[in-house]
Structure 1
Amino acid sequence: MKRRFNIQSPCLDIKQDIQYKIDNLNKPKGSLGMLEDLALQICLIQQTLSPELLHPCHILFGGDHGVEREGVSVSPRNVTWQQMINFTKGGGGVNMFCHQHGFELKIVDIGVDHNLSDYPKIINRKIANGTKNFLYEPAMTEEQFRNAIDIGVAMTDECITEGCNVICIGEMGIANTSPSSIWMSIFGGIPLKECIGAGAGLSDEGIKHKYDILKKSIEKFNTSNHDIIDTIRYFGGFEMVGAIGSMLRAAEKHVLILVDGFIMSACILAASKLYPEILKYAIFGHCGDESGHRKMLNILNAKPLLSLGLRLGEGTGALCAYPIIQSAVNMTNEMNNFNNAHITKYF
């Protein structure tokens, strides 16, 4: 990877002061559970005792996958571009949740197999009309991989320039559970069968077919001869590599990263193999209904905020979790402490 990122763990010098403030809010110590953990994480990232959530942005990358031609998804690839257009009209789940929680939505065509130039609400960063079929060849070239990373970086930079300090990332790409399952298997050391699920609704027969295709693809790739970046670009989608670039830049700039479901968890798993410190900046919104997601979260030592049986993608699960993150920040800034409230500590 030509671009290098300078991702450091948040400085811990302020940790004792943060913990003291949280512990002395007028409540029993630890009684607000994960909200207290979130507050500590956010304060460390922002290096402050008074954290803020500013101009939240949601970046949705869209791209198609060559392996879709092998029948690994119940949905055809034209659903990708149809949904991208639907997003411009405010008709998607992602639109609803962005509106509800005050996120600016940025819809990015990084590799959709359709001409979307007639839709000005879609940011045109198209690398190609979908990736190649990794059953036969690498999904993308080294140059395309670098382009996808750079596009992700540029999108994060655009958000930061607008005043954003919390970024949520989503995706739209039929068949993208296939590369996600492969990354999970290779990077997580999990048997491939345990990483494959129904995606958008495959039957048992369809899941078996998907497994056979992915197994053949991995055998042809021969993981022992390739490094992390080779593995990412051989199987990944443009929207997935764009998301990795966006996440890495966010961590480099000390911006909160809200992680969605199976695909985005696979992306930050891949990113963490390059830069392990990125996980200090990640908040995992939910545990999805896709088979294997819980195991992937365990690999990442992640504690998801929600478990609602979601598997829509688009970033919807992370968006749903945002009010909990807001509550953690509000707790830190608005709850009184024992001294000011003239309450005797009762723990």
Structure 2
Amino acid sequence: MFAIGFDITPVSHEFDDEIQSIIDNKTKPLGALGELEHLAKQIARVLGKDQPKISNPKLLVFAADHGISAFGVSIAPSEVTTQMVVNFINGGAAINVFCRQVGFDLEVIDCGILKPLEGVDGIIDQRLGAGTAPIHRQAAMPLKSVMQGMEMARERVEYHHQQGCNLIALGEMGIGNTSSAAAIMATLMEMDCIDCVGRGTGIDADTLKHKQTLVEQALHIHESELTDPYNILACLGGFEIVQMTGAMLAAAERNMLVIIDGFIATAAALLAVKINPNVRDYMIFGHQSDERGHCLMMEHLHARPLLKLDMRLGEGSGAALSLPIIQAAAAFYNEMASFSDAGIEI
């Protein structure tokens, strides 16, 4: 089957010296703003060196169910996915609170929860099915669903781009999705399953061992099919992971910054980078999750998280909390006086 292509322009380094000079000549000691300086340089590379500004930031939460959740890998049943989606729509979840606090516009996308929320306002319908198949028994979805999900994500990102958005953040909701993410991690990073599978929603030691066994089974039965990112998604992915992957690639294609959230979103980032390595330079990593394996993912991607708060909630919560830091980096670059502006001689 023909794979969807993403035409992502490599981030230019042509003006790196000029950007660095602007940063270095602000009224501060060299390097005194630490990671904010690296972040400002990335923002200027992507959005332009002359007054780069974050406009109309949008946080997209992709929701879907996973067949493996029916086999005892989580403390919560699949029905909780739908219940949390309703909570998002009603404004009562952590992500709602954080988005209101920092000024993120939140959008909730149904990629394939078990039952559609008919007649409910405030949710975008991009359903690929009623949850995936259990990955330890069969492929999660047909390859055509991967392609369809990628195209849906691209269309949604294009809509926001047309509305003047130049930064999106990505979050997710899906009981069982840490199992899929761990399987994807183990495949792409060629690691043992035990180093990738974590406690997710807070499972006990026996449940963790069971979860590791099921993920190992998934990797074994699909071993011959795990030949490229699209087939990996078809065999091991979730409908929300497919669309997050597509959204990352589509945003980079439109020269937009992308904030990556935690473990699930970073699994999608691994896939996106495998599909088109140029996407990596558009990614900002909001935080380092407390989920087992996330720090290893970050090291693999040479990523430096903006926050490390021992969070493992998902929903895009870490990505949301990072927005003020990103805005601060752009603001100091644009507004802070230079030594010559301030009449300071050193």
Matched with 1:234 is 235
Matched with 1:149 is 150
Contact 2:226/2:232 (<8 A) preserved: no
Distance 1:224 1:148, change over 3 A: closer
Matched, 1:69 2:70: yes
Letter in 2 for 1:85: V
Distance 1:242 1:224, change over 3 A: closer
Matched with 1:314 is 315
Q: Using the aligned pairs only, state the percent identity.
A: 37
Contact 2:225/2:235 (<8 A) preserved: no
- Residues 213-258 of structure 1 deviation map (CA, whole Å, 9 limit, x = unaligned): 1111111111576322211221100011001111100011110000
Matched with 2:167 is 166
In the TM superposition, structure 1's runs of 4+ consecutive aligned residues that sit over 4 Å from their partners are none
Matched with 2:252 is 251
Distance 1:296 1:225, change over 3 A: closer
Q: Bigger CA drift: 330-339 or 219-228? A: 219-228
- Residues 259-294 of structure 1 deviation map (CA, whole Å, 9 limit, x = unaligned): 101000111011111111111000001111111111
Matched, 1:193 2:194: yes
The answer for unaligned runs of 5 or more in structure 2 is none
Contact 1:62/1:239 (<8 A) preserved: yes
Matched with 1:213 is 214
Deviation at residue 104 of structure 1 after TM alignment: 1.3
Deviation at residue 72 of structure 1 after TM alignment: 1.2
Q: Counterparts of 1:34-45 in structure 2 under 5 Å?
A: 34-45=35-46
For residues 132 and 175 of structure 1, the distance between their equivalents in structure 2, rounded to whole angstroms, comes to 12
Q: Counterparts of 1:168-183 in structure 2 under 5 Å?
A: 168-183=169-184
Contact 1:59/1:155 (<8 A) preserved: no
Q: Counterparts of 1:1-347 in structure 2 under 5 Å?
A: 1-223=2-224, 226-345=227-346
The answer for unaligned runs of 5 or more in structure 1 is none
Distance 1:65 1:342, change over 3 A: same
- Residues 162-212 of structure 1 deviation map (CA, whole Å, 9 limit, x = unaligned): 110010011010000001101111111221101111100110000000011
Contact 1:66/1:134 (<8 A) preserved: yes
Q: TM-score, normalised by structure 2?
A: 0.97
- Residues 21-61 of structure 1 deviation map (CA, whole Å, 9 limit, x = unaligned): 11111111111110000000000001223110000001111
Letter in 2 for 1:26: T
- Where 2:52 maps in the other structure, the secondary structure is coil
- Residues 303-327 of structure 1 deviation map (CA, whole Å, 9 limit, x = unaligned): 0011101111000001111111111
Q: TM-score, normalised by structure 1?
A: 0.97
Counting matched residue pairs gives 345
Q: Bigger CA drift: 274-283 or 226-235? A: 226-235
Contact 2:198/2:292 (<8 A) preserved: yes
For residues 223 and 294 of structure 1, the distance between their equivalents in structure 2, rounded to whole angstroms, comes to 28
For residues 101 and 181 of structure 1, the distance between their equivalents in structure 2, rounded to whole angstroms, comes to 30
For residues 341 and 111 of structure 2, the distance between their equivalents in structure 1, rounded to whole angstroms, comes to 53
For residues 102 and 260 of structure 1, the distance between their equivalents in structure 2, rounded to whole angstroms, comes to 17
Letter in 1 for 2:93: G
